[in-house]
A = this chain, B = another copy of it.
Amino acid sequence: MNPSLNPCDVIADFPLFSGLSSEECLSITSAGRLFEVAPGEFFFHQGEDSTMLYVILTGRTKLSQITSEGNQVIVNYFGPGEGLGIIMALNRMPYPLSAEAIEPCTAIGWSRDAMLDLMKGNSQLALNGMNMVGQRFTQMQNRFQELATQRVEQRLARALLRLVRQFGRRTEKGILIDISLSREDLAQMTGTNLYNVSRILSKWDSDGLITTGRKQVTLLKAHELVVLAEDIPPPSHTPE
Contacts and interface: CB of A to CB of B under 8 A. Distances in A.
**What range describes how many residues of A lie at the interface?**
35 or more
A120 B131 CA distance: 14
A130 B126 contact: yes
A68 B127 contact: no
A75 B65 CA distance: 21
A127 B131 CA distance: 12
Given A73-B149, A87-B137, A123 B119 contact: yes
Main SS at interface, chain A: helix
Nearest to A66: B145
A96 B138 CA distance: 8
Interface in A113-151: 116, 119-124, 126-127, 129-131, 133-138, 140-145, 147-150
A28 interface: no
Contact of A191 (B122, B131, B147): B147
B126 A127 contact: yes
A120 B127 contact: yes
Contacts of A123: 119-123, 126
A67 interface: yes
Given A127-B116, A144-B147, A134 B134 contact: no
Contacts of A124: 120
Contacts of A97: 141
A166 B93 CA distance: 21
Q: Which 8 A-B pairs have the closest CB atoms?
A: A148-B191, A126-B126, A71-B149, A91-B134, A123-B123, A87-B134, A120-B123, A147-B147
Nearest to A143: B144
A123 B120 CA distance: 5
A49 interface: no
